[in-house]
Amino acid sequence: MKTKIKNAVSSRISLIGLPILALCFVSFFWGTTWIASKEGVKHMPPLQLAAIRQFLGGILYISFFLFKKAPWPKGKQWKTILILSILNFVLSNGLSTWGVKYISSGLGAIIGALVPLWVVIISMFRGEKLARLSIVGLLISFSGVCVVFYDHLADFIQPDFRFGIALSLISTLTWAFGSLYTKKKAASFNPYFGLGIQMFISSIFLFAFTGATGTGVPLTSIPAISWWAISYLVVFGSVLTFIAFIYALQHLPAHISTIYAYINPIIAVILGAIIFNESLNAAIIIGGSIILSGLYMVNYSLRKARQNAITTK
């Protein structure tokens, strides 16, 4: 009897432990992708880096599902995939990669965490009624943004810095639109196969843009350090971490599985300070903490609203 209880407890611990480990994996390695992007764009055009990363990641996903003989999208599903490939990968991922060429990886990660705020703002303009907690969280996060950028007021004199901030903000806005579009057009098609197709399609657009504008460079002239950065982004940013993320989502409550969104910027800021000697001062620490606190309130409010909507159906 004791043996059975012991085995049951051990089994329960393993079931809880593996998803938590997967979540820790996601929280750390998705934070490190900002560092890899920063290192990669030091030595090659940012959009070309994003194109190669998404091409290789897309090929890996598509090859896996072709091996599994999964069905291809049909009819209007292609329209959804095309729109999401432009919003989420050509614009959001492409512009955020471009942005960190001109701003610190830590600042890029903090701006990247602002997506839920755009979702709330867009919802407000669409006339949706928002919970008071969402509005309070929005205001708190905005105050945190003010604290962070107070330390960078002098940097706004530099055109490159302003350009990097603009690119990063637009990238979060397009991801928010992509998130809302995904929610509206929730399709029956395999979302993970769709993700790989989106990556592949976006790489074609980005390769076409860099080719047409003459901003690309010959593959032979890309230094080894950038190829290592691309490899890291493909393996950890697009494949292993995403698999771990899906596993965590399937085995953990929603309020726990979203913790990664608050840890990623912290990882990026700390590693950016250690590896690239990026600024890590009181304004970054306090402002970042305020932003993440406000984001938690926004996410909590949105999650409760979704739960209430499901309950009332």
The pLDDT of 235-261, averaged and rounded, is 75
Residue 14 domain flag: no
The mean pLDDT of the chain is: 82
* Domain region containing 308: 27-312
In sequence order, which ranges of the chain are alpha helices (DSSP H)?
2-41, 46-67, 77-84, 94-99, 105-112, 115-125, 132-150, 159-184, 191-213, 224-232, 241-251, 254-257, 260-276, 282-312
37 — pLDDT class (breaks 50, 70, 90): very high
Amino acid identity at 148: V
Distance CA 24, CA 118 (A): 26
Residue 7 domain flag: no
Distance CA 287, CA 95 (A): 24
Residue 8 domain flag: no
Residue 6 domain flag: no
Residue 12 domain flag: no
Task: Enter the tokens of residue 39.
Answer: 């290192």
Residue 61 domain flag: yes
The pLDDT of 34-51, averaged and rounded, is 93
Task: Enter the tokens of residue 140.
Answer: 């708190």
Residue 66 domain flag: yes
Q: How many domains does the chain have?
A: 1
Residue 302 domain flag: yes
The three-class DSSP label of residue 15 is helix
**How far lies 285's CA from each of 60, 151, 152, 270, in Å?**
38, 11, 14, 10
Give me the pLDDT at residue 8, please.
47
Q: Which of 90-99, 123-132, 292-301, 304-313 has the lowest mean pLDDT?
A: 304-313
> pLDDT at residue 181 above 50?
yes
27 — pLDDT class (breaks 50, 70, 90): confident
**Digit-coded pLDDT (tens) for 60-114:** 999 999 998 989 988 888 988 999 999 989 999 999 999 999 988 888 888 888 8
Distance CA 94, CA 189 (A): 25
Q: Which of 25-29, 100-104, 120-124, 184-188 has the highest mean pLDDT?
A: 100-104
Global pTM reads 0.81
